[in-house]
Amino acid sequence: MRISKPSKLLFQSTLASLLVSASLGITPALAAVDPTLPNWTTAGYKGGQALPTGGTLIDLTTKGITANDGVDDSNALQQVINDIRSGTLTVNGSVVSDTNRAILKLPAGQIDLNKQIRVDASFITLRGAGNNPTTGTKIVFKPAATYSEDPANPGAPLIDGKMWPGYAAFRVEDRAKDSGDTTYEGSVNFHWLTGQRVASAGGGTKGSLVVKVASGKGSQFAAGDTIYVGAANTVAFYDGMQAPQAYRFNGHMRTQMFKVVSVSGDNLTIDKPLEFDVPFSNSGQLPADPGGSNSTYYSKVMKVTAVKGVGFEDFYFTQDISYTPYNGLINANDYDAVTNPGGVGLKYKNEALEYAVHGILFKFAQDGWVKGIRTYMTGSHPIVTEFAKNMEITNNIIFGAWNKGKGGHGYVRGSKLYDSKITNNTIDRVRHLTLQWSATGNVIQGNALSADMNLHGGWERHNLIEQNTISIPFEHSSWGEGEGGQDMLEGTWYPIWYGAGPHASKWSGGTGEQNVFFNNTMSKQLTKGGAYVPFAPYNNANTIYQIGWDGTQWTHLQKPTGTFISTWGQNETVDFSQAPNKGVYACLSFTGSSLLGSGTATNSCTGGTDTQAPTVPAGLTATAASSSQINLSWTASTDNVGVTGYDVYRGGTFLKTVTGTSTTDTGLTASTAYSYYVRAKDAVGNASAASNTASSTTLSGSTAATLNPTDDAYVHESNPTTNYGNDTTMFLKTSSGSNRVVYVKFDLSSISSASSAKLRIYGSASANTTVTAYQTTDSWTEAALTWNNKPAIGSAAGSIAMNATNAYYEIDITSYVQAQIAGDKIVSIELQESAGKYTTLNTSENGANKPQLVIQ
């Protein structure tokens, strides 16, 4: 089989990693079934080892914990963990360790807990007497009202970001505090306090086994350390996923945890290759919060203070609400508007938001597990991770949550989960099973789900989802609370959900590369009470479906090739593995039933068998945008495997290659004619014939003036008395009860005539829409404008189609400007969009790309 150059580099890096591991006495992992696939054989506890079963029993009935007495046992259980953590409580005459484990044995019967338990003593197992609520250990959790409603997101609980993702009955996270922030337990792992910057030339490149920290900082690390590597978000990274400007912010979307193999100066050799480039910083080009001022944000490497080897086994867990104001108002059965309006099953809202407390949380944890437990109606996520490595969640029965609505609640949530396994669980009546926020190297296998397998966004990648049975009821849907709590997703949820960049950037970012689906049985109930029908198109048992992959590198889902989808909604059943679409690589097939087992992989797209060229690009147009720029666009080509790009030619000479169906040619000479044609190509170099030739002449360059606004602002129907005149960003959206409208005003007192006048606005839309400019009166000012006092709308002056690409868009308003030159010398414009899509524009307060009125 032929291996592409990028795949060869990854394969060679993996081989080098195995050789380093072997030199240290670490057992090398088995190879993947095909060298172009990720290697998942090291997923799970200690890189694929069996979960421990042994240890020394500590009978918790001797530590003040009594079943069925109605007494809160939180303090007693916490004291046992505290004593193990401090070394006061030992087993076999020694402190608890990896080779001297402690098993905290809960008695049969009901155990009452009212407080969060900090499980931060490593190498302990909390084991019950079975998960049958009648004969085993039944843990009943009754937390106090923990949250208030988030005023910025009504219907969601307000959670302190430093405590994210919120409180849990069992919180596996070290309590140590850094001196820079003694308010929060766990601040020892705040990377902004304890992390080190990377080298000024960058911290490392994708595929490398070396991470480079800032000069002199290598001494902070040692072989054997677990480290966190976070790559700063950059403009180029956001551009690649076509994230709207309004959703871009500083942070580390790309993260991973590694083991340090060795340290040489400021170079850290790690146990597996980097999966992303690590820049020094964002170059000061992104804001701390969307829409704010730009600031410099650095990539970081941090020694992790991890809680290791904590397991939960063999008990039943439920969160009781009988003592809350919701008693009698809500119940665990399925919702029905007539027969059971209080039911929360198959209802995806937050029904008791004050009590949205998770079941089990692993945060900065390693080699932990949850096995053989049964959950029934947790407050929010039954099980959730946040920076966790080599975990196993296996053979559990999970049912329901009281809160499954906006703000992200009621998931089985694999966030920042690395090299872990979620296997052989029954998961029912939750919102999603998610992999998100840089989750990588995980295996999701053999589960029975009534919730979707959700690639939730944030550059999750290299995950294997196989042998699962996913059966989605008709009622499993967003309930008007789309992911991120802003938009209503189109339609009901299907077995797979994918984070499209323009949409998922609202809360994180697009889904990353090479998430692999294999041999899953998936079905969807298309009507209420109807039959379940097989979910297509990714249902061939022997085909390896690699989502976000073109065979050599990441690609967004495109429909057709060259056009990113803006959201997964209404695209669930589109086949992105077949032309004219792109984004799912389906060339590999496998004879076995599991990609972790035996069998033979075959690639139908290599070995020179593809000799078919793409179809000819059609409808090429060339339009002069200015005296130095011409805009080109054309209709997408199709190909038997997939179009990978378009070569653009000017005057018969190659100009550049682009992946989309539009581009700009800049730096041209004024009043000059240029001609263009385009050829499509595929992955193996087959090229189409040339498109039609399109010509255009740049504008004369005799621009009378380029004016900036005297006033610009937007208004928001939901905040009718709020003024946004000082904001650097304006928003447009047509949405009943929540409309956003933009106003722009220009002074024409210096202009005596105009043969052409174009309003230039810079920004993007979350999906294709049309922005129309309307005439309006001049009485408003940006300092005082609100929804309640906005001027009345007048006649349309011009319009332009907008999409998810950040660029200047020009609206021809020549007639209106000519009339105003002869009139009061003021041009006042109201902008609206037509399709209900979030549209973001720069204001004159922005440091770059301000609105303009270009007059010739």
411 is a domain residue: yes
Residues 734 and 658 in one domain: no
pLDDT value at residue 227: 97
**Alpha-carbon distances, residue 572 vs 555, 557, 786 (angstroms):** 17, 11, 40
Residue 564 near residue 557, CB atoms below 8 Å: yes
> What CATH number is given to the structural domain containing 661?
2.60.40.10
Residues 752 and 813 in one domain: yes
**Residue 722 identity (one-letter amino acid):** T
Residues 81 and 148 in one domain: yes
pLDDT digits (tens, 9 = 90+) for 784-815: 999 999 999 999 999 999 988 888 999 999 99
Q: Indicate the pLDDT class of residue 737, thresholds 50, 70 and 90.
A: confident
Give the span between the Cα atoms of 437 and 307, in whole angstroms. Answer: 21
Residues 354 and 503 in one domain: yes
Strand intervals (E) in 36-147: 56-59, 102-105, 109-113, 117-118, 124-127, 137-141
Q: Is the pLDDT of residue 172 over 50?
A: yes
The last residue of a domain, from among 672, 697, 722:
697
The last residue of a domain, from among 481, 516, 532:
532
Residues 404 and 256 in one domain: no
Residue 400 near residue 332, CB atoms below 8 Å: yes
Task: Using DSSP bridges, classify how beta strands 432-436 and 452-455 pair: parallel, antiparallel or unpaired.
Answer: parallel
Give the span between the Cα atoms of 802 and 811, in whole angstroms. Answer: 11
pLDDT value at residue 491: 53
Helix (H, G, I), strand (E, B) or coil at 730: strand
- DSSP conformation letters of 155-190: TSB---GGGTT--EEEEES----BTTB-SSTTGGG-
596 is a domain residue: no
Is the model more confident about 81 or about 1?
Answer: 81
Task: Using DSSP bridges, classify how beta strands 374-378 and 316-319 pair: parallel, antiparallel or unpaired.
Answer: parallel
Report which of 710, 709, 696, 708 is spatially closest to residue 626, judged by C-alpha positions: 696
Residue 799 lies in domain? 705-855
Residues 159 and 240 in one domain: no
Cα dihedral 771, 776, 782, 785, rounded to 10, equals -100
14 is a domain residue: no
- Phi and psi torsions of 78, nearest 5°: -60, -35
pLDDT digits (tens, 9 = 90+) for 413-430: 999 999 999 999 999 999
**Mean pLDDT for the chain?**
90
Report which of 322, 325, 342, 323 is spatially closest to residue 333, judged by C-alpha positions: 342
Report which of 483, 506, 503 is spatially closest to residue 493, judged by C-alpha positions: 483
Residues 135 and 258 in one domain: no
Is the model more confident about 492 or about 637?
Answer: 637
> Is the bond preceding residue 537 a cis peptide, omega within 30 degrees?
yes
Give the span between the Cα atoms of 634 and 648, in whole angstroms. Answer: 11
178 is a domain residue: no
234 is a domain residue: yes
The last residue of a domain, from among 532, 551, 578:
532
Report which of 247, 390, 231, 240 is spatially closest to residue 308, judged by C-alpha positions: 390
pLDDT digits (tens, 9 = 90+) for 345-362: 999 999 999 999 999 999
Give the span between the Cα atoms of 504 and 478, in whole angstroms. Answer: 14
Give the span between the Cα atoms of 772 and 809, in whole angstroms. Answer: 11
43 is a domain residue: no
Give the span between the Cα atoms of 699 and 676, in whole angstroms. Answer: 17
Q: How many domains does the chain have?
A: 4
Give the span between the Cα atoms of 603 and 586, in whole angstroms. Answer: 9
290 is a domain residue: yes
Q: Is the pLDDT of residue 691 over 90?
A: yes
Helices (H), ranges, 391-534: 501-504
> What CATH number is given to the structural domain containing 282?
2.40.30
Residues 660 and 712 in one domain: no
> What CATH number is given to the structural domain containing 779?
2.60.120
Exposed e or buried b for every residue in 709-734, given b needs 16+ CB within 10 A?
Answer: bebbbbbbbeeeeebbbebbbbbbbb
Residues 737 and 809 in one domain: yes
Q: Indicate the pLDDT class of residue 463, thresholds 50, 70 and 90.
A: very high
Tally DSSP H helices, then E strands, for the chain: 6, 61
**Does an H or E element contain 623, and which?**
strand 618-624
Residues 497 and 369 in one domain: yes
Residues 397 and 277 in one domain: no
- Name the burial class of residue 3, with classes exposed (0-12), middle (13-18) and buried (19+) by CB atoms within 10 angstroms of its CB: middle
pLDDT value at residue 396: 98
407 is a domain residue: yes
> What CATH number is given to the structural domain containing 313?
2.160.20.10
Residues 439 and 491 in one domain: yes
Average pLDDT for 746-756:
89
